[in-house]
A = this chain, B = another copy of it.
Amino acid sequence: MDGEISKLTIEEKSSCQILTPQTTVKLLDSVDVFLFDCDGVIWKGDVLIDGVSETLDTLRAMGKKLVFVTNNSTKSRKQYAKKFRSLGISVSEDEIFSSSFAAAMYLKVNEFPKEKKVYVIGEEGILEELELAGFTGLGGPEDGKKTVQLKANYLFEHDENVGAVIVGLDQYINFYKLQYGTLCIRENPGCLFIATNRDAVGHLTDLQEWPGAGCMVAAICGTTQKEPIVVGKPSTFLMDFLLQKFNVPTSRMCMVGDRLDTDILFGQNAGCRTLLVISGVTKVSDLVDPSNHILPEYLTNTLSDVVRLLHD
């Protein structure tokens, strides 16, 4: 075991199992479905992490189901599949679970009436997934340039047939959209308020973090004084959906991620196995920090260890 991980104390090592040839066999034997967080596990920004492609091929050859989970709602599954291809990995749309897809699936699973409309504070990905699922979306990028006029006798009108407002990351957020979404939630009887996720910030560029969907979602909570239904991580909606799809108990799924408070906690809450890779944001020093109380079941440097160790 190389690098940072070797610095763990015996006590820390005993609380989570570091991948060795033996524990890797144990992990692979106990898991039918691998759930992967993308950024920090599969890629970093626009660069593929070493050995990922071969690892995914080997896992597939072993009959494992693979699911790629991302809270970023700006892209649809189709757009994500394109990103995978551009990095040289072949992933089918069916294997991708983005929070944009999750939002559309939430409506489908809950039999949202097709004649109702959905207002979107968010980007193209959500609108695409809504359309694919047969729903009518309004708003999104198109409303990014609209303005309001705060003058006497001006009435801001909204569509009374909107039965759900979906809020995700929106770099074109404005007062028009905030008012539109607020009016739908406050005035349309039974209107749902769905959040793709509540991440505070995200690495939208390689050099820094930017406001995440948690920013836009909080803004709508602030005006409506209502709490949203969250469909991305760490909500367990994904698990309920996968249970139906694969008919595999969560105890035979493994969540692989680079964040303790989202990925690992999410996996633990759902009753999955968990594997932390330190190729992303979490460092070993974060893991052993006294303030951290989230320990993964398994720990390794990078995803490719899962296959490399089998041949050691």
Contact = CB atoms under 8 A, between A and B. Distances in A.
B150 A211 contact: no
B210 A150 contact: yes
A215 B225 contact: no
Contact of A206 (B153, B211, B217): B153
**Total copies of the chain:** 2
Given A222-B215, A222-B217, A210 B179 contact: yes
A214 interface: yes
Interface residues of A, number: 43
Interface in A117-176: 148, 150-156, 170-175
A25 interface: no
Contacts of A216: 219, 222
A46 interface: yes
Interface in A209-229: 210-212, 214-225
B225 A152 contact: no
Contacts of A151: 205
B206 A152 contact: yes
A216 B225 CA distance: 13
A233 interface: no
Interface string A196-215: 00101100111110111011
A223 B223 CA distance: 16
A189 interface: no
A190 interface: no
A206 B210 CA distance: 36
A223 B200 contact: yes
A200 B224 contact: yes
A215 B148 CA distance: 16
A224 B148 CA distance: 28
Contacts of A99: none
A185 B52 CA distance: 37
5 A-B pairs with the lowest CB-CB distances in the bound complex, closest first: A218-B222, A219-B219, A218-B218, A211-B223, A214-B222
17 contacts: A45-B152, A148-B171, A150-B171, A152-B205, A153-B205, A153-B206, A154-B205, A154-B207, A155-B207, A170-B175, A173-B178, A174-B174, A183-B208, A200-B222, A211-B223, A214-B222, A219-B222
Interface of A: 45-46, 148, 150-156, 170-175, 178-179, 182-183, 198, 200-201, 204-208, 210-212, 214-225
